[in-house]
């Protein structure tokens, strides 16, 4: 018998969701208008490369290696003492997901973990309003302007004041996204690209219409009943799920909108 991780959200409608009271936290993900914002049409993003697809016949072997070697991106991140985000009372889950990916990408490329601020992205995009959005909005901002540290601009603080905002602008060039992929909206293609990205160790930010929520995904996961899915940090603090981490399986793990962060500014951070 395989232990079921605390906080699993099951695909099956016949199995009750664990910790139902934690499923109704603040979210903020907005369903994307594909006509107004077409797939992979922005200046910075490209479609997920077909050359990076990993055939499903290879998934089990790669997954077993993750389990035995403990070398998935999720494992790498956890060894640093990394902690999950807390979006508080904001509707900035979409920015929390992307900034969590940026932190993970920094760790993967050997830079030190520095806690960054999701609000320093979302609040500027939304003109200091507590409004929802989706991942590509946040990631484009991270390419153009970058992210501030949590020490300067609190992660769930919408308006920290002029001094902090000015200091944030000094810090942003140290924490920028360079390259990211957008995953196709077709569910079958989305699943193939999403799982391939996770097996490559590329952090993703899947947005779920059914959950009205966007999270970071750091690793593939195979549930106790043998169904493929994903796991990663939520943005509802460590009291949610498995110390703040979620597990999704089956159709529930297939996003309606998703980005994959491939590279970030190589930098130890301000003063480093």
Count of CB atoms situated within 10 Å of the CB of 198: 29
pTM above 0.85, yes or no: yes
- The pLDDT, as a whole number, for residue 2 is 39
Q: Which residue has the higher pLDDT, 209 or 153?
A: 153
Q: What is the mean pLDDT of the chain?
A: 88
- The pLDDT, as a whole number, for residue 6 is 54
Lowest mean pLDDT segment, chosen from 41-55, 81-95, 119-133: 41-55
pLDDT over 70 percentage in the chain: 89
Whether the predicted pLDDT of 116 surpasses 60: yes
Question: What is the side-by-side strand order in the sheet with 245-249?
Answer: 8-9, 245-249, 228-233, 219-222
Do 171 and 250 meet the contact criterion of CB atoms below 8 Å apart?
A: no
- How many angstroms separate the CA atoms of 51 and 181, rounded? 13
Rg (CA), the chain: 17
Written in H, E and C, the secondary structure of 242-269 is ECCEEEEEHHHHCCCEEEEEEEECCCCC
CATH code, 8-264? 3.90.70.10
Q: Tens digits of per-residue pLDDT, 6-36?
A: 555 554 433 334 333 334 556 889 887 777 7
Region label for 161, one of left (φ > 0), alpha (ψ between -120 and 50) or beta (otherwise): left
- Closest to 134 in 3D by CA, of 25, 218, 262, 28: 28
Whether the predicted pLDDT of 123 surpasses 80: yes
Whether the predicted pLDDT of 61 surpasses 80: yes
Q: Tens digits of per-residue pLDDT, 69-95?
A: 999 999 999 999 999 999 999 999 999
Do 149 and 171 meet the contact criterion of CB atoms below 8 Å apart?
A: yes
Q: Tens digits of per-residue pLDDT, 196-237?
A: 999 999 999 999 999 999 999 999 999 988 999 999 999 999
Q: Two tokens at 255?
A: 């996003």
Instruction: Kindly indicate the confidence band of residue 136, based on its pLDDT and cuts at 50, 70 and 90.
Output: confident
- How many angstroms separate the CA atoms of 26 and 246, rounded? 15
Q: Two tokens at 184?
A: 């196709």
- The pLDDT, as a whole number, for residue 180 is 87
Question: Taking residues 156-166, what's their average pLDDT?
Answer: 97
Q: Which residue has the higher pLDDT, 267 or 18?
A: 267
Q: Which residue has the higher pLDDT, 198 or 180?
A: 198
Alpha helices in 151-257 (DSSP H): 162-171, 187-200
- How many angstroms separate the CA atoms of 160 and 153, rounded? 6
pLDDT over 90 percentage in the chain: 70
- How many angstroms separate the CA atoms of 270 and 36, rounded? 37
The helix/strand/coil state of 127 is coil
Winning range, highest mean pLDDT, from 47-51, 120-124, 131-135? 120-124
- The pLDDT, as a whole number, for residue 25 is 57
- The pLDDT, as a whole number, for residue 263 is 87
Query: In this structure, what is the dihedral angle of CA atoms 77, 83, 86, 91, given to the nearest 10 degrees?
Result: 0
Question: Taking residues 131-140, what's their average pLDDT?
Answer: 91
- Closest to 152 in 3D by CA, of 133, 134, 166: 166
- The pLDDT, as a whole number, for residue 31 is 81
Strand pairing category for 204-208 and 257-264: antiparallel
Alpha-carbon 23 to chain mean position: 17
- The pLDDT, as a whole number, for residue 269 is 75
- Closest to 20 in 3D by CA, of 12, 32, 10, 31: 10
- Closest to 248 in 3D by CA, of 190, 208, 189, 212: 208
- How many angstroms separate the CA atoms of 130 and 194, rounded? 29
């Amino acid at each position: 018998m395989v232990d079921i991780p605390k906080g699993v959200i099951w695909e099956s409608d016949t199995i009750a969701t664990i910790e139902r009271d934690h499923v109704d936290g603040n979210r903020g993900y907005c369903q994307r208008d594909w006509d107004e914002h077409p797939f992979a049409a922005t200046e910075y993003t490209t479609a997920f490369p077909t050359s990076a697809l990993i055939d499903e016949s290879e998934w089990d072997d790669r997954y077993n290696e993750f389990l035995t070697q403990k070398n998935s991106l999720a494992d790498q991140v956890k060894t640093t003492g990394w902690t999950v985000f807390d979006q508080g009372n904001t509707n900035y889950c979409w920015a929390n997901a992307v900034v969590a990916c940026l932190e993970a990408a920094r760790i993967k490329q050997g830079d030190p973990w520095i806690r960054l601020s999701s609000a320093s992205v979302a609040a500027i995009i939304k003109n200091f309003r507590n409004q929802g959005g989706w991942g590509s909005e946040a990631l484009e901002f991270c390419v153009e302007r970058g992210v501030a540290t949590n020490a300067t601009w609190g992660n769930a603080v919408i308006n920290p004041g002029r001094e902090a905002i000015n200091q944030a602008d000094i810090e942003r060039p140290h924490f920028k996204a360079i390259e990211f992929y957008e995953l196709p909206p077709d569910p079958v293609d989305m699943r193939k690209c999403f799982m391939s990205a996770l097996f490559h160790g590329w952090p993703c930010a899947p947005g779920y219409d059914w959950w009205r929520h966007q999270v970071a995904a750091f690793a593939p996961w195979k549930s106790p009943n043998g169904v493929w899915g994903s796991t990663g940090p939520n943005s509802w603090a460590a009291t949610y799920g498995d110390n703040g981490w979620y597990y999704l399986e089956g159709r529930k793990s297939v996003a309606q909108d998703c980005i994959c962060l491939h590279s970030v500014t190589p930098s130890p951070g301000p003063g480093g």
